[in-house]
Structure 1
Amino acid sequence: MSLTDKQWEIAHAIAQTLVQEHTDVNEVSKAVAYLRTVIDKNDATSRFLTYLKILVKDGRQISHSKDTPRYYRNIEATCSQYFKSNSDAVTILQILGWVSRLMKYYKNSGIPIGEITTPTATVIESARQAEIAKVTESQEFKEGDIIDAKVTKINGNKVTYEILEVIKLTQKEPKKANVLQEGQTVKVEVIELREDGTIKKIRLID
Structure 2
Amino acid sequence: FCCCSHTHTTERADQLSKRSSPPMAFFAVLLLLVLLALFAVAATQLWNYAVVRLVWRPYAMSKWFREQGIHGPSYSFLKGCNEDVRSMKEETDRLVLEVGDHKYLPRIAPHYLKWRTLYGEPFLYWHGPQARICIFDYELARQILSSKSGHFVKNDAHPTLLALVGKGLGFMEGADWVRHRRIINPVFTIDKLKVMPSSCSWLSSKA
- The answer, yes or no, to whether TM exceeds 0.5 is no
Larger Rg: 2
Higher relative contact order (CA 8 A, sep 6+): 1
More helix by share: 2
